[in-house]
């Protein structure tokens, strides 16, 4: 098959075409690895676990962001051709490796870190696993930080300061965590100008999330929580 | 269109945005014509007479469609965000489109 791979760095680049032998069972990551091992050892890309756990290997495949280690070639091959590029909406380091810093900076900015509200001397509170809040938090913690939703989001594309679906879903997760003490701070952050109200509910994040999560509805939940909170606090 | 946008909710977003822009362009003209009732009633009569022509009626069908699709699309988004009603959003978006065609089609049939 013919594989067009984006080569370049932050200053620009172009597609370079490689002929790669087709196999019965072959992922996009296998294809990229074959090129790096057999055609051009200078090809740069990122991966770690190869089993859809670590979120390192996401790339644009035929214009759609995907986790490449679990994307089979036969599902995305068009006319015996493939096009592989670095994730969009992020700066490029080199070739297929995108710079994930802006993505993770937003996780930090949204306050996605757990803040305990009790000391070791307090009783551990019982959280029933079947409450709606806990179910929301349980769904959100499955995020593997692959940035597929971030690359698919046209709102991020239009406003690079927008927190984006992954960071906002993290905010929704931790807002639903009864053990988190900094709930009000998170609601203030997501209510600000580059927060949840930027979302147009176009649903690219939910459609493309490889783990089947639903950031669009998580963001809708934040909009609701922020609105309720505003009325409760009297504006 | 890039392939990652190729799904119903993105198309619903596009339709909502374009219908909103179309209505925003129409409204100044609409208010100007309404304002003629105060400033120049004779000219208003002329405009109303012109608006009875079949071409304008057909354009009004488009206008009613834009208004209806923007209203139903907006209601869908409000339901998604505030009821909360995550539900089958694809079906709801298709329903918004069908409802808009129903209303604008009924308007056209009544107008001709």
Looking at residue B3, what is its pLDDT?
87
Looking at residue B111, what is its pLDDT?
79
Tokens of A174: 């931790």
Asked if A138 and A129 touch (Cβ cutoff 8 Å), the reply is yes
Please tell me if residue B88 touches chain A, with a CB cutoff of 8 Å: no
Chains A, B: CB contacts within 8 A come to 52
In which residue ranges of chain B is pLDDT below 50?
Answer: none
Please tell me if residue B18 touches chain A, with a CB cutoff of 8 Å: no
C-alpha distance from A72 to closest chain B C-alpha (Å): 17
Contact B89 A202 (CB under 8 A): no
Task: Give yes or no for residue A140 having a pLDDT over 80.
Answer: yes
Asked if A183 and A169 touch (Cβ cutoff 8 Å), the reply is no
**pLDDT one-digit tens code per residue, A4-56:** 999 999 999 999 999 999 999 999 999 999 999 999 999 999 999 999 999 99
State phi, psi for A89 to the nearest 5 degrees.
Answer: 70, 10
Mutual angle of helices B8-39 and B41-50, in 10-degree steps: 140
C-alpha distance from A205 to closest chain B C-alpha (Å): 10
- A58-61 and A12-19 beta bridge pairing: unpaired
Residue range A139-161: mean pLDDT, rounded: 95
For A220, nearest residue in chain B (alpha carbons): B81
Residue A12's domain is classified under what CATH number?
3.10.20.30
Please tell me if residue B80 touches chain A, with a CB cutoff of 8 Å: yes
Residue B81 lies in a domain: yes
Contact B9 A223 (CB under 8 A): no
**Which percentage of chain A shows pLDDT scores above 90?**
82
Looking at residue B109, what is its pLDDT?
86
Please tell me if residue B82 touches chain A, with a CB cutoff of 8 Å: yes
Test mutation, A58, A59, A61, A63, chain B, max B CBs within 10 A: A63
- A168 and A84 share a domain? no
Looking at residue A158, what is its pLDDT?
95
- A113 and A227 share a domain? yes
Please tell me if residue B39 touches chain A, with a CB cutoff of 8 Å: no
For A205, nearest residue in chain B (alpha carbons): B4
Contact B86 A62 (CB under 8 A): no
3-state SS record for chain A: CEEEEEEEECCEEEEEEEECCCCCCCEHHHHHHHHHHHHCCCCCCCCCCCCCCCCCCEEEECCEEEEHHHCEHHHHCECCEEEEECCCCCCEEECCEECCHHHHHHHHHCCCCCCECCCCCCCCCCCCCCCHHHHHHHHHCCCCCCCHHHHHCHHHHHCCCCCCHHHHHHHHHHHCCCCECCHHHHHHHHHCCCCHHHCCCCCHHHHHCCCCCCHHHHHHHHHHHHHHHHHHCCC
Other CB atoms within 10 Å distance of the CB of residue A38? 11
Q: In whole angstroms, what is the distance from residue A217 CA to residue A139 CA?
A: 11
Which domain range does residue A78 map to?
Answer: 2-98
Cross-chain CB nearest to A224 (options B3, B17, B82): B82
Residue B38 lies in a domain: no
Cross-chain CB nearest to B3 (options A63, A217, A224): A63
Test mutation, B2, B4, B10, chain A, max A CBs within 10 A: B4
Task: Give yes or no for residue A235 having a pLDDT over 70.
Answer: no
For B10, nearest residue in chain A (alpha carbons): A202
- A74 and A37 share a domain? yes
- A7 and A33 share a domain? yes
**pLDDT one-digit tens code per residue, A52-93:** 999 999 999 999 999 999 999 999 998 999 999 999 999 999
Looking at residue A113, what is its pLDDT?
81
Residue range A217-227: mean pLDDT, rounded: 94
- A114 and A74 share a domain? no
In three-state secondary structure terms, B74 is helix
Distances (CA, A) of A41 to A34, A103, B18, B29: 10, 28, 47, 63
Please tell me if residue B5 touches chain A, with a CB cutoff of 8 Å: yes
C-alpha distance from A42 to closest chain B C-alpha (Å): 29
Task: Give yes or no for residue A135 having a pLDDT over 80.
Answer: yes
- A43 and A133 share a domain? no
Residue range A182-208: mean pLDDT, rounded: 94
Residue B31 lies in a domain: no
Residue B43 lies in a domain: no
- A66 and A140 share a domain? no
Into how many domains does chain B fold? 1
- A89 and A7 share a domain? yes
Residue range A118-136: mean pLDDT, rounded: 88
Looking at residue B90, what is its pLDDT?
83
- A74 and A107 share a domain? no
Residue B99 lies in a domain: yes
Task: Give yes or no for residue A227 having a pLDDT over 70.
Answer: yes
Domain boundary among A76, A98, A120: A98
C-alpha distance from B102 to closest chain A C-alpha (Å): 24
Domain boundary among A39, A66, A98: A98
Looking at residue B89, what is its pLDDT?
80
- A57 and A108 share a domain? no
Contact A201 B80 (CB under 8 A): yes
- A110 and A202 share a domain? yes
- A91 and A143 share a domain? no
Into how many domains does chain A fold? 2
Which domain range does residue B79 map to?
Answer: 3-23+53-111
Asked if B19 and A219 touch (Cβ cutoff 8 Å), the reply is no
Peptide bond before A121: cis, by omega within 30 degrees of 0? no
């Amino acid at each position: 098959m013919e594989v067009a791979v984006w080569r370049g760095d932050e200053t620009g680049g172009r597609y370079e075409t490689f002929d790669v032998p087709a196999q019965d069972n072959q992922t996009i990551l296998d294809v990229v690895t074959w090129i790096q091992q057999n055609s051009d050892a200078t090809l740069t890309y990122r991966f770690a676990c190869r089993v859809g756990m670590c979120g390192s290997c996401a790339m644009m495949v035929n214009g759609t962001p995907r986790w490449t280690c679990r994307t089979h070639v036969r599902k995305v091959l068009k006319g015996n051709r493939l096009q592989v590029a670095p994730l969009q909406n992020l700066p490029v380091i080199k070739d297929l490796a995108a710079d994930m810093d802006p993505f993770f900076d937003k996780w930090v900015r949204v306050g996605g870190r757990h803040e305990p509200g009790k000391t070791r001397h307090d009783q551990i509170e019982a959280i029933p696993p079947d409450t709606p809040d806990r179910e929301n938090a349980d769904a959100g913690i499955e995020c593997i930080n692959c940035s597929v939703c971030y690359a698919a989001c046209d709102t991020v594309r239009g406003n690079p300061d927008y927190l984006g679906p992954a960071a906002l879903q993290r905010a929704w997760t931790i807002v639903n965590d009864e053990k988190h003490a900094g709930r009000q701070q998170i609601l203030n952050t997501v209510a600000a100008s580059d927060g949840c109200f930027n979302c147009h509910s176009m649903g690219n994040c939910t459609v493309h999330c490889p783990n089947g999560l639903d950031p669009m509805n998580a963001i809708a939940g934040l909009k609701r929580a922020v609105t309720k909170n505003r009325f409760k606090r009297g504006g | 269109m890039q392939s990652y946008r190729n799904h119903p909710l993105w198309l619903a977003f596009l339709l909502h945005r374009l219908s909103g822009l179309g209505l925003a362009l129409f409204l100044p003209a609409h208010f100007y014509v309404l304002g003629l009732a105060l400033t120049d009633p004779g000219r208003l009569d002329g405009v109303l007479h012109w608006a009875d022509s079949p071409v304008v009626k057909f354009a009004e069908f488009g206008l009613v469609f834009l208004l209806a699709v923007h209203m139903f699309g907006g209601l869908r988004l409000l339901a998604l965000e505030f009821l909360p009603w995550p539900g089958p959003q694809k079906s709801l978006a298709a329903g918004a489109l069908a409802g808009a065609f129903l209303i604008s089609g009924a308007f056209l049939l009544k107008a001709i």
